[in-house]
Amino acid sequence: MSKRSIEILVGLFVVLGVVALVFVALKAANLSSFNSQDSYMVSARFDDIGGLKARAPVRVAGVVVGRVTAITLDPKTFQGVVSLAIERSYPIPKDSSANIRTAGLLGDQYVGLEPGGEVDNLAPGALITRTQSAVVLEKLISQFMFSKAADAGADTGKKP
């Protein structure tokens, strides 16, 4: 093999490495799927959004049907307002509920929609009123610890 062909192979290897790094970076940033499909916007209010981020998936029965486009704070109610872009090919019933869920024990959070039974569908700009906030692991642990501490304190004051 000549020196020129070795240099070309090394160059191709470097280019493939850079392409692989860009692919992994886009997957990690959740930017790999740029949808140009037509979508409609709806919103939902949550008391606690946990670690939900913009561009997080919106899923129905595990299938990605949209993305979170924005997260803002309502200054009057102090609730998190989550804007969702849902693909038009997935009509969602009016009485559906939205939950913030976690993929796995410590995975990323996403919005899970549970379809209702209404015949009419959500219109663009509609507000999903049935929501369940994120389950924050730290809150659960602290509640468990405080309840155990309270039980232990109550047990020490009892006489046999």
* pLDDT tens-place string over residues 60-70: 988 889 999 99
Q: What is the mean pLDDT of residues 4-14?
A: 90
Would you state the pLDDT for residue 17? 92
The predicted pLDDT at position 154 comes to: 62
Quote the pLDDT of residue 76: 92
Mean pLDDT, residues 134-153 taken together = 71
Q: Give the model confidence (pLDDT) of 26-47 as tens digits.
A: 776 655 454 556 888 999 998 8
Tell me the per-residue pLDDT of 95-129, one tens digit each, with 9 for 90 and over: 888 888 888 766 788 899 988 888 888 888 888 88
| Amino acid letter, residue 138 | E
More confident call, 150 vs 112: 112
Residue with structure tokens 């996403």? Answer: 110
pLDDT above 70: percentage of residues in the chain: 82
Domain ranges across the chain: 1-29, 39-137
HSE of 100, CA atoms in CB hemisphere, 13 A: 27
The 3-class secondary structure across 95-110, one letter per residue, is: CCEEEEEECCCCCCEE
Q: pTM to 2 decimals? A: 0.65
pLDDT tens-digit map of 125-141: 888 888 887 776 677 77
Q: How far apart are CA 7 and CA 15, in angstroms?
A: 12
| Residue 57: count of CB within 10 angstroms of its CB | 18
**Residue 130 has what pLDDT?**
86
Return the pLDDT at 95: 87
Cβ proximity of 90 and 57 under 8 Å: no
Please report the pLDDT score of residue 15 as a whole number.
94
Average pLDDT score over residue span 150-160: 60
